[in-house]
């Protein structure tokens, strides 16, 4: 067996799907090839670690709450809102909130800064709390050069057309930082000839640091009826 023959059989080898002759052939190859032996050891160790990967149990009260909602909904008695937090397969999250619509009053707005950890996926969440439905709003993002939106590769300018419902609308941004320079993420929401620009300062820490800083929920107010309010 050559190395090029071993690699395609690695998965079947791990899963015990090879016959005795194939297993013997692989074993002989591994005994004389340190590179393939290292690959095999790595794969076996990873598989063992995955097999023992723990999962959290539901938070206290969740099971009762979920069953209660299901039974209530079946009886037509209970509204069943989604939590809607939507942290898409990412390790951690931060939350910021922004309000759009016809609010005139602003609450005190905490500094809108998030801390990412270098090369670690984090979800930054922007809450667009709209006082009324907005049809076909345009949301544009400008990402810092050293921050990737997971799944979009090198693209740093992105734009979507989307509807905003009355109430909370959550934009989740799975981000990975590839450099430590401070920079800004700019989100621009446009609708009906007006627009609002939100700026988010991003600080990036090395993995060996203290991790993320807690980030509260900030709210901004905007009147989208006239001109550019950025």
**Smallest separation (angstroms) from other proteins to the CB of 12:** 8
- Select 96 or 146, whichever has its Cβ closest to other proteins: 96
**Smallest separation (angstroms) from other proteins to the CB of 30:** 16
- Select 111 or 226, whichever has its Cβ closest to other proteins: 111
**Smallest separation (angstroms) from other proteins to the CB of 4:** 15
Q: Which of 19, 32, 59, 105 binds other proteins (CB under 8 A)?
A: 59
Q: Which of 2, 4, 34, 51 binds other proteins (CB under 8 A)?
A: 51
The verdict on 3 binding other proteins (CB under 8 A) reads no
The verdict on 202 binding other proteins (CB under 8 A) reads no
Q: Which of 27, 102, 138, 160 binds other proteins (CB under 8 A)?
A: 160
The verdict on 6 binding other proteins (CB under 8 A) reads no
Task: Show the DSSP H helices in 52-86 as ranges.
Answer: 62-74
- Select 142 or 150, whichever has its Cβ closest to other proteins: 150
147-158 per-residue burial string, b: 16 or more CB within 10 A, e: under 16: bbbeeeeeebee
Q: Are strands 194-205 and 113-117 parallel, antiparallel or unpaired?
A: parallel
Torsional class of 178: left (φ above 0), alpha (ψ -120 to 50), beta (otherwise): alpha
The verdict on 164 binding other proteins (CB under 8 A) reads yes
Please report how the helices 20-32 and 34-51 are oriented relative to each other, as an axis angle in degrees rounded to 10: 120
Segment interacting with other proteins, rule: CB under 8 A, options 10-18, 104-112, 178-186, 194-202: 10-18
Q: What angle do CA 30, 31, 32 make, to 5 degrees?
A: 90
**Binding pattern for the stretch 98-137 against other proteins, x by CB under 8 A and - elsewhere:** ----------------------xx-x-x-xxx--------
E-strand ranges in 101-146 read 113-117, 122-130, 134-142
SS3 call for 64 = helix
- Select 86 or 102, whichever has its Cβ closest to other proteins: 86
User: Residue 184 to residues 57, 141, 204: CA-CA distances in angstroms?
Assistant: 37, 11, 11
């Amino acid at each position: 067996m050559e190395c090029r023959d071993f690699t395609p059989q690695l998965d079947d080898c791990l899963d015990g799907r090879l016959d005795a002759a194939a297993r013997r052939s692989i074993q002989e190859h591994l005994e004389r090839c340190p590179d393939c032996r290292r690959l095999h050891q790595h794969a076996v160790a990873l598989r063992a670690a995955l097999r023992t990967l723990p999962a959290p149990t539901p938070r206290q009260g969740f099971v009762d709450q979920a069953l209660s909602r299901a039974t209530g909904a079946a009886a037509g008695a209970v509204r069943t809102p989604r939590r809607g937090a939507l942290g898409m397969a990412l390790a951690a999250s931060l939350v910021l909130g922004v309000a759009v619509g016809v609010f005139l009053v602003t609450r005190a707005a905490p500094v809108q800064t998030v801390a990412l950890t270098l090369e670690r996926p984090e979800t930054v969440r922007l809450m667009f709390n709209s006082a009324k439905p907005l049809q076909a709003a345009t949301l544009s993002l400008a990402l810092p050069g050293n921050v990737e939106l997971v799944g979009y590769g090198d693209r740093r300018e992105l734009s979507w057309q989307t509807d905003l419902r009355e109430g909370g609308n959550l934009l989740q941004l799975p981000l990975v930082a590839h450099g430590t320079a401070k920079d800004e993420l700019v989100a621009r929401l446009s609708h009906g000839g007006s627009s609002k620009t939100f700026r988010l300062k991003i600080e990036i820490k090395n993995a060996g640091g203290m991790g993320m800083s807690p980030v509260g929920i900030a709210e901004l107010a905007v009147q989208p009826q006239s001109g550019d309010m950025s």
